[in-house]
Each structure stands twice: as structure tokens, then as C-alpha cells.
């Protein structure tokens, strides 16, 4: 049967029928769809969030084919898992802290690591939003200091936290119908308790099984920590906080997993909860598969949500430069190319490779097992399933003309029963006009990561960060001479050859808040820890955006913010593939903003010439199906 819709949906149908056939009927799954119009209503597609023509929704698994065939459904995608980027946790804080001089450069000169920034703005009146895992709402860095007269604490800086885990509860946000919202009043009541985590029934230690400190608390501390713990003060210590503790459809309390449907719903919730306040959202999470351009539905939806002024989204570029998860080739007619794909035990979940190539070309893909057996041959439009002793060990789908990018895609899956060792992927060119082909091996969240034997470190940015309006942030080592890229920091460009990442920020040995955890029978609180990764670089830029919002005194459009940060970034000898337009320079961005505001005619935006009026906000559905709470 021809592959007439998303290969990942076909893989989901196959895995469900093989592994859980009794659960297939009536199972609800999350999907993202592009509809013909923003108002389209499709029977069986229960919409939750609308971002222009892109929606998140729930659908019965056995109705997927019927929904996809509806004339108003232009594209239908399975939700994908996203994980926090792997980070390095250091044993002790380094001598250089989270806000080193180079990113605080100004016309007056560069600040040192211990200097306060040479400007008055601290993010006051703005909102910093994070989608992550394990927020320590009681950490002193996120609590306002006591009043000057020695009175009680000023209270929590959290406006709300949405813990997406679990089904419908009395405190579920109505438009989405799952999880719990912890608002400011509830958090403030918890702060007065001996054990605020028990009072809230929300403990960051649940997301910290190794006791290293949670990813979410650390990134939040970089973005807007006030330094009361002894950690370096962020650039936006007075910003208010909105946070989403992410989940996926199979999340247990200890998992740090998300999926694209709930990411979009979390972004929508943050923007709506922020209301008219300027909001910058930081996401240090990602995956590797996809076309690595602006066309995936989740990426396009993020761009659509940024059409409203006063919003920006900052994404980490990824830590995949040296992980051997990308390979590429320039094809010529009649000349086969072969890639090695190594799978090592433990091989607990499907290993997946996506291959993308231009619509103008024609390619047949063969998959050869480690023993030399031809396992699958996939010409355009074909699919293949290989069984051993009745169990599926290989599946593959070759889709013509993905409706987003317009290009062809091949998806290959090695199931847990597949032989270990090095598989060979043969690319057999037919008609070739353009010839470039790229392969990405998806991240493994259980077991060992499979890898290419001869990888290409370029084109390794996180799938989520390649949008037109979102900012992708690489990491540089602020401690080293010349401030080189972090050895892990992903490289661009995007597959459509746009410059990605957009810019770079400090991401090596960054000290910030550490989440609370029980140690030797007692609760250790208000600590700090030191981590490295592009996860640490992105919140620096988010803080810079909050400062720009405050300095502008108006809701800057995302295009204006992008122009300000790109045009003032300090060039890097490492080049655009590693560092984008250069290294973050907040002082220079503020100076340029001030200059442009002085020049701008009244009523016009300073950097783009667009009117300073708000644009219509995309609609969320006014209802959420009850089934959306039971879609796992």
C-alpha cells in the first residue's frame, strides 16, 4: 500500500497493532494538523489549540486514515518526543560565573564577571516563560527579597506553573483539560510551610533521580535568577515567571519527556496567561529528526504564534555537533552511496533514521543487515516490514512529497529485536537534478544512541530551532581565549541554507540555581550548581530579550528583536555555522535600540517600520474534548 500520509503515523499504527492490539480500538492520540482555513472543522479531529491554520488535536487512532483523507486536512502529523539536551554537570563552580563580561559589553567598555550590568533595566514588567522539567518554586532565587523595613518576604515571582502530568483535575487549565496549575497564591501559601514541596504536591526532586539538580531550575536561574542564593544574578532578576513542567503521552513522574503537541499547548498557555505583558519564552529541549528547515508543523506553529508583538521564543541550538547523528552526500546519477549505521546494546526502543532529499530527485534506499542480508528495498512510495520468528524487526516508509517541505522522506526503524552491529544504508540514485541528501538518526531516550560510522557535524541543529522567527542559540566557552564554540554545540546551517544558529551565548561551566533535594535524610535547599550545554546558552538570550522589552517600553515584534540581536552580535572567528551572527552583546543591542527609537517617526516601530499596534491573537479552542485527558 502506498504511503499516503505521515510515516510516523503509519509507524504508530504498526507498533500499536504489533505490541498492543487490544488497546488500538478507542485509543486517543495527540496530533498536529494543518487545515485549509483557520476555521475548518473536521469530524473526528478534536482541536485544542489553533495557531493560524495549524492546530493541536486529539483523534481516535483507528480514525487516523479517515481524518487524513478529509479535504480540509492538508497535513496530519504524529506528535514527536522531545528531551532536554544532555548537559555536563560540573563538580564545583568555576571562577567565571554565569554573567561574564563579554555578554555585558557596552559602549562604556566590558563589565567583569562581578560587575552589575551597566544599564538600569532588570526585566521589570516582563514575563520570562520556560518549558522544562523540575522547577524549584521555593528556591530563594525566585522569591522576592524581604521588604526594606525587615518585613516578610516579597513573595513568589511565579505567576503560575502548569504541571502537565496527569489527566483532568479541578485545577486543570480549562482550554487544555489536563494537569494542574499552581498559581501565585498557592505558591505563596507553600512558602510559609516547613515543606513547601509536600504542601504543593510538586517536588523538583521527582525529576532529579541522580541528585544533580534539575534542568528546569538551572535554566530558570540563568534566565531570571535574582542571585540571593549566591549564584550570579541574571540579566532579568525582576522578571515575573511562567513555567510549564512538560509531559509526553507516556510520562512517569521521573521522566523528562515532552511531545510536540504538549509543547505547543504549553507555549499557547504561557502567551495567554501573560496577557498584555511582554513575554519571552525559553526552550532548552529538542530532537534530531525532521527536515531541519522552517516547515515542520510544530515549527511553523511557533512562528505563527510570534505574529503578535510583545512575544519572542528562544531555543537552544542543540548539543549534537559530536554525536554522530547526521550524515550527508551529494548524489550523482548511477553512483551509489553507502552509509554505516551502528546499533549497540542495550537497544531498548526503536532506532530511527530519517533521510530527506529534494522533490526534483529520485532515490531508492536499501537497508542491509550486519550479516550482509538485504533487509529492505524502498523505491519512492514503498513501505516494508521485516519479521523474524513472527516479530517485526525492521520497518521502513518512503514518502513522496511531504506536504510541508515538498521534499521526499524515507523513515527507517530498527526495532528492539533487530540484530546489533553496523547496518548499511545504500542510496541508489535514479533521476538526479539537485542531489543533496541528508540523514539524521533520532535521539534515544532509553538505551544507547545509534550512530553513523562516518558522520557530518554540520546541519546538526535541534529540529525545533529552525523557524523563521524563533531564535536559535549556540554555546561558546567564555573562559577560553577567543571564546570558541562549546565542543558540543550544534552547527548549522538549516537544510534550506539559512543561517542557524542565530547567535551564541555563554554555555560552558555556567553556575546558577540548583533544585532542592533530600540528602542524608534532610532537605537541602537554595543551592547552586554548574552545568554546560546550549541549554545554558538559550536562557542568557531570553534574559537579554526581557531587558530589551523593558528598555523599549513597548511590545517589540519578534522581527525587531531578531534584528537587534543579530546586527549587534560580536563576530566570531568560528564562523556562522557554529556561532551564527556572532556572540551576544546586550549593551550593543540596547544602544542600537535607543538609537533607532530616537530616529523612528511617531507611531512606527523603530527597526521594522511596522505600526506599533497589536495584531490579532490566534485562537485556542473554547472547548477541550474530555478524551484529551486520556490520550496516552
Element counts in the chain: helices (H) and strands (E): 12, 33
**Cα 129 to Cα 219: distance, rounded to the nearest angstrom:** 11
> Per residue in 365-377, pLDDT tens?
999 999 999 999 9
Judge contact between 37 and 254, C-beta under 8 A: no
**Predicted local distance difference test score (pLDDT) of residue 4:** 73
CA 329, CA 350: separation in Å to the nearest integer?
25
How high is the pLDDT of residue 115?
Answer: 55
Give the separation between CA 216 and CA 219, rounded to whole angstroms: 5
Per the CB < 8 A criterion, the answer to whether 371 and 339 are in contact is no
What percent of the chain is predicted at pLDDT more than 70? 88
Per-residue confidence (pLDDT) for residue 474, from 0 to 100: 98
- Cα 551 from Cα 573, distance rounded (Å): 30
Beta strands in 26-126 (DSSP E): 28-35, 46-51, 54-60, 73-78, 81-84, 88-90
| pLDDT digits 0-9 by tens, 580-612 | 999 999 999 999 999 999 987 765 655 544 433
Report how far residue 103's alpha carbon sits from residue 327's, in angstroms, rounded to the nearest whole number: 33
Contact 273, 184 (CB under 8 A): no
At residue 248, the pLDDT reads 81
When computed from its CA atoms, the radius of gyration of the chain, rounded to whole angstroms, is: 24
Q: Is 213 exposed, middle or buried (0-12, 13-18, 19+ CB in 10 A)?
A: buried
- pLDDT confidence of residue 607: 54
225: Cβ contacts below 8 Å, ≥ 6 apart? 141, 142, 231, 232, 233, 234, 237, 512, 513
Q: According to CATH, what is the number of the domain 323-453? A: 2.60.120.1290
Cα separation, 450 vs 351, in Å, equals 7
Residues in the chain, pLDDT under 70 = 1-3, 23-24, 91-115, 147-153, 250-254, 348, 602-632
Task: Give the relative orientation of helices 534-552 and 215-224 as an angle to the nearest 10 degrees.
Answer: 30
Please give the Cα distance from 221 to 254 (Å, whole number).
21
CA angle 407, 29, 11 (to 5 degrees): 45
Q: CB-hemisphere CA count at 13 Å for 181? A: 19
Domain boundaries, the chain: 88-318+462-599, 323-453
Residue 276: exposed, middle, or buried by beta-carbon count in 10 A (0-12, 13-18, 19+)?
exposed
Contact 503, 579 (CB under 8 A): yes
Distance CA 346, CA 502 (A): 36
Provide the CA 620 distance to its chain's centre, in angstroms.
21
The pLDDT of residue 430 is 96
Q: How far apart are the first and last CA of the chain?
A: 28
Residues 6+ apart with CB under 8 A from 522: none
Q: Are 483 and 455 in contact (CB under 8 A)?
A: no
Which tens digit of pLDDT belongs to each residue from 78-92? 999 998 877 878 854
CATH 3.40.50.200 fits 88-318+462-599, yes or no: yes
Helix axes 586-599, 558-568, angle to 10 degrees: 120
- Of 344, 418, 339, the C-alpha closest to 385 is 418
Q: What is d(CA 370, CA 377) in angstroms, rounded to the nearest whole number?
A: 15
CA gap 131, 220 in Å, rounded: 10
Q: Per DSSP, what are the bridge partners of residue 343?
A: 421
323-453 and 88-318+462-599 share a CATH fold: no
Q: What is the pLDDT of residue 154?
A: 80
Are the CB atoms for 217 and 526 separated by under 8 Å? Answer: no
Using one digit for the tens of pLDDT, what is the confidence trace for 108-144?
Answer: 223 333 357 899 999 999 999 999 999 999 999 999 9
Residue found under cell 515584534:
557
Amino acid at each position: 500500500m502506498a504511503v499516503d500520509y505521515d510515516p510516523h503515523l503509519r509507524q504508530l499504527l504498526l507498533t500499536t497493532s504489533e505490541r498492543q492490539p487490544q488497546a488500538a480500538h478507542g485509543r486517543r492520540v495527540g496530533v498536529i494538523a494543518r487545515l485549509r482555513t483557520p476555521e475548518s472543522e473536521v469530524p473526528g479531529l478534536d482541536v485544542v489549540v489553533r495557531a493560524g491554520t495549524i492546530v493541536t488535536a486529539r483523534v481516535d487512532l483507528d480514525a487516523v486514515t479517515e481524518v487524513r483523507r478529509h479535504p480540509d486536512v492538508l497535513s496530519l502529523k504524529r506528535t514527536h518526543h522531545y528531551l532536554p539536551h544532555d548537559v555536563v554537570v560540573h563538580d564545583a563552580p568555576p571562577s567565571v560565573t554565569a554573567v561574564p563580561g563579554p555578554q555585558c559589553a557596552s559602549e562604556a567598555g566590558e563589565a567583569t564577571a562581578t560587575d552589575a550590568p551597566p544599564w538600569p533595566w532588570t526585566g521589570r514588567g516582563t514575563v520570562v516563560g520556560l518549558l522544562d522539567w523540575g522547577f524549584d518554586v521555593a528556591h530563594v532565587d525566585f522569591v522576592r527579597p524581604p521588604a526594606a523595613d525587615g518585613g516578610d518576604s516579597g513573595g513568589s515571582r511565579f505567576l503560575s506553573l502548569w504541571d502537565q502530568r496527569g489527566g483532568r483535575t479541578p485545577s486543570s487549565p480549562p482550554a487544555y483539560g489536563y494537569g494542574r496549575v499552581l498559581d501565585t497564591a498557592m505558591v505563596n501559601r507553600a512558602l510559609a510551610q516547613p515543606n513547601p514541596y509536600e504542601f504543593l504536591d510538586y517536588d523538583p526532586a521527582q525529576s532529579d533521580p541522580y541528585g544533580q539538580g534539575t534542568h528546569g531550575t538551572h535554566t530558570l536561574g540563568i534566565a531570571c535568577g535574582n542571585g540571593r542564593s549566591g549564584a550570579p544574578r541574571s540579566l532579568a532578576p525582576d522578571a515575573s515567571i511562567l513555567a510549564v513542567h512538560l509531559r509526553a503521552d507516556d510520562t512517569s513522574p521521573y521522566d523528562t519527556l515532552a511531545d510536540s503537541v504538549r509543547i505547543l499547548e504549553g507555549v499557547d498557555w504561557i502567551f495567554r496567561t501573560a496577557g498584555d505583558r511582554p513575554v519571552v519564552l525559553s526552550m532548552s529541549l529538542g530532537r534530531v529528526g525532521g527536515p531541519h528547515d522552517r516547515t515542520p508543523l510544530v515549527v511553523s506553529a511557533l512562528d505563527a504564534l510570534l505574529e503578535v508583538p510583545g512575544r519572542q521564543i528562544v531555543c537552544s541550538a542543540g548539543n549534537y555537533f559530536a554525536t554522530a547523528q547526521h550524515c550527508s552526500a551529494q548524489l550523482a546519477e548511477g553512483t551509489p552511496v553507502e552509509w554505516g549505521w551502528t546499533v549497540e546494546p542495550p537497544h531498548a526502543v526503536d532506532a530511527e533514521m530519517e533521510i530527506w532529499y529534494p522533490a526534483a530527485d529520485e532515490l531508492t534506499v536499501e537497508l542491509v543487515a550486519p550479516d550482509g542480508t538485504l533487509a529492505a528495498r524502498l523505491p519512492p512510495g514503498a513501505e516494508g516490514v521485516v519479521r523474524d520468528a513472527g516479530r517485526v524487526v525492521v520497518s521502513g516508509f518512503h514518502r513522496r512529497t511531504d506536504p510541508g517541505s515538498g521534499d521526499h522522506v524515507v523513515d527507517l526503524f530498527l526495532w528492539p529485536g533487530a540484530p546489533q552491529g553496523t547496518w548499511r544504508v545504500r542510496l541508489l540514485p535514479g533521476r538526479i537534478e539537485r542531489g543533496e541528501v541528508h540523514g539524521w538518526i533520532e535521539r534515544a531516550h532509553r538505551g544507547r544512541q545509534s550512530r553513523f560510522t562516518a558522520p557530518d557535524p554540520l546541519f546538526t541543529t535541534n529540529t525545533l530551532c529552525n523557524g523563521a522567527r524563533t531564535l536559535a542559540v549556540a554555546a561558546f566557552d567564555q573562559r577560553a581565549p577567543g571564546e570558541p564554540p562549546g565542543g558540543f554545540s550544534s552547527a548549522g546551517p538549516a537544510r534550506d541554507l539559512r543561517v542557524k544558529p542565530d547567535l551564541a551565548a555563554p554555555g560552558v561551566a555556567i553556575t546558577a540555581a540548583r533544585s532542592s533535594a533530600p540528602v542524608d535524610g534532610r532537605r537541602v535547599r537554595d543551592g547552586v550548581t554548574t552545568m554546560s550545554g546550549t541549554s545554558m546558552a538559550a536562557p542568557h538570550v531570553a534574559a537579554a530579550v526581557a531587558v530589551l522589552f523593558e528598555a523599549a517600553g513597548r511590545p517589540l515584534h519578534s522581527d525587531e528583536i531578531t534584528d537587534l540581536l543579530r546586527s549587534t552580535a560580536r563576530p566570531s572567528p568560528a564562523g556562522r555555522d557554529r556561532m551564527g551572527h556572532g556572540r551576544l552583546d546586550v549593551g550593543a543591542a540596547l544602544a542600537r535600540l535607543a538609537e533607532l527609537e530616537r530616529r523612528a517617526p511617531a507611531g512606527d516601530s523603530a527597526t521594522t517600520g511596522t505600526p506599533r499596534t497589536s495584531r490579532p491573537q490566534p485562537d485556542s479552542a473554547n472547548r477541550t474534548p474530555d478524551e484529551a485527558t486520556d490520550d496516552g
